[in-house]
Amino acid sequence: MIEPISAVAPALSGRAVASQRWSKLTFLHWRVEAAELAPLFPAGVRPDEHDGSSWVGLIAFYLDRATLLGGPVVPYFGEFTEINVRLYGVDERGRRGVVFLSLEASRLAAVMAARAAFSIPYFWSRTSLVEHDGLIEYCSTRHRGQGRSHIVARPGTEVIGGDATADFLTARWALFTTRFGRTNYLPNHHEPWPLVAASLEYLDDTLLERAGIPGLTDRAPDSVLYSEGVTTRFGRPR
């Protein structure tokens, strides 16, 4: 049985191992047939579907106030703009979660730590976030290899609440990672998302194609949302 989608996160079992503040988030999402995405999921996880399709997300935001094991905020290395490519999956126990295909960050130490500790596929990139004239502009360029993204979004004022599609795309209380050939489930907890509608003003992106999903940027996203942000805590992997 698949667990229901809820805008309210379940409580973590045990002590949080890390926390982060996510701010100024733009969520871009496209519908994609589940069969096309299935090869990209880790063992034991299949595409989650909503309204007749699975979904691919390109998410940009600013990460800061990072802590580890209840310690003090990590200065400098715990502050950066991130852009990630993600999918939505469900495992054999019916647990829902995010599957990250790539994550861009400008702090090499943070990239190496996330890869070493949790096998999360971070890439070292030059990233930035700038606000101007009611717009938010996110940029990312990888230092090694090819991969870039340039997103310009305009947050709106229409509050989104009680929307099944928005909840499916944002109310995710875990991520799946593969470590030493084994799929792990890493829970998280934060307050309900404060969401508003947004518009995409400009997009030049190769991260989706590099992640194995070509052609998405040839069409407009099926959902564009914005949030001022939340503070997130992570539980121990299971």
pLDDT band of 48, cuts 50, 70, 90: very high
Break the chain into its structural domains and give their ranges. Answer: 18-234
pLDDT at 238: 81
Element (H, E) at 121: none
Helices in 25-78 by DSSP H: which ranges?
34-37
Does 182 have pLDDT greater than 90?
yes
Tokens matching residue 155: 């947050």
Residue with token string 């890493």: 186
The pLDDT value given to residue 139 = 98
Q: Nearest to residue 65, comparing CAs of 18, 109, 25, 21?
A: 21
pLDDT of residue 76: 74
For 69-85, what is the mean pLDDT?
A: 89
Q: Domain spanning 18-234: which CATH class is it, in words?
A: mainly beta
Q: What percent of the chain has pLDDT over 90?
A: 87
* Token code pair at residue 56: 């691919």
Looking at residue 142, the DSSP 8-state letter turns out to be E
Distance between CA atoms of residues 152 and 162, nearest Å: 26
Report the pLDDT value the prediction gives residue 207, as an integer from 0 to 100. Answer: 98
pLDDT (mean) for 119-137: 97
pLDDT-derived band at 14, boundaries 50, 70, 90: confident
Q: Is the pTM of this model over 0.75?
A: yes
The pLDDT-based confidence of 136 (bands split at 50, 70, 90) is very high
User: How much is the pLDDT for 143?
Assistant: 97
- Residue 117 pLDDT class (50, 70, 90 cuts): confident
**For residue 140, what is the DSSP state?**
E
Alpha-carbon Rg of the chain, whole angstroms? 17
The token pair at 43 is 């063992």
Q: Which two tokens stand for residue 199?
A: 């518009």
Average of pLDDT values for 92-100?
A: 97
